[in-house]
A and B are shown apart, each in its own frame.
Chain A
Amino acid sequence: MNAVVELWAWARGKRRRFRVTGESMVPTLTPETYVLIDPHKQPGAGSLVVAVHPYKDIEICKRVAMIQSDGRLELSSDNQQVGQDSRHFGPVSPNAIVGVVTHVLARSGPSGR
């Protein structure tokens, strides 16, 4: 049912589709997984988010590990052995958040089966 709601929201332009590349969010999101994000939803601790990298001109997919008292967010990789996240580039501003992942459209790889 949630899938229908999310697809309807996407069709009405309330969601944005992203393609996740890389392995830092394995096993939650395998490379080439398609996700929908809600650009207006407020992230909480544990949320999967798409954010603007603080130092590179790319958008990244990470998990919110913690929201600090000053509002900045610590982002973490589910695959911490390989991921680059707030352990490397520090907490990010709330303005860096592009949106919260609300739905996984389709996975690629073993964990999606």
Chain B
Amino acid sequence: MTLSHRLLAAFDRCVPAPVADAHCDGPCGVYDPSSARIAAEAVLSMTKKIVDLDMSADGAHNTFSRFVAIKEEQAEITKRELNILWHDYFKPNHLEAYPDLHTTFWNAAKQASACKTSVDIGACEELMSQIEAIHNMFWESKGREVPWYTAS
């Protein structure tokens, strides 16, 4: 720290200067739709497990409760990850290239909510296809070819 800065800092403690904010919301700048994809895959997986669960088996009610809790938690994570991409990564200038950007994210977030409140494999598969569309849009906006893949 220079002497002039020390003097000003001392002066500032007596007569504080107003702050001109040059902060940022997302300093890391690391984004990847795979975070949303992994959470959505978990929702799909738990939904399938709920459908296949034998409710007459020992401890089935406990297992059922766990599956539902995890499904709902992962659906919330899916929505959060989608929102981070939507609000933080995509910028107004992306709208020129992707005029349906807002609708795409809005529908995907609503689909994640539908998967959270229902036990519907078809709804989960629709959510996956919506996230695939976002994956393609995202990587195209970065000028990179990243093939869509799933973990399961």
Contacts and interface: CB of A to CB of B under 8 A. Distances in A.
Contacts, number: 90
B25 interface: yes
Given A105-B4, A108-B5, A112-B5, A88 B91 contact: yes
B30 to A, nearest CB: 10
B97 to A, nearest CB: 14
Interface of B is mostly: loop
B12 interface: yes
Interface string B11-44: 0100011111111111101000000000000000
7 contacts: A18-B18, A22-B23, A34-B12, A50-B20, A59-B19, A83-B22, A88-B91
A60 interface: yes
A59 B22 contact: no
Contacts of B151: none
B29 A60 contact: no
Contacts of B26: 82
B149 to A, nearest CB: 27
A23 B21 CA distance: 9
Contacts of B20: 18-21, 35, 50, 59-61
Given A82-B29, A87-B92, A34 B8 contact: yes
Nearest first, the 8 closest Cβ-Cβ pairs linking A and B are A22-B23, A61-B20, A22-B22, A106-B5, A82-B24, A18-B20, A106-B4, A24-B22
A77 B16 CA distance: 25
A23 B24 contact: yes
A17 interface: yes
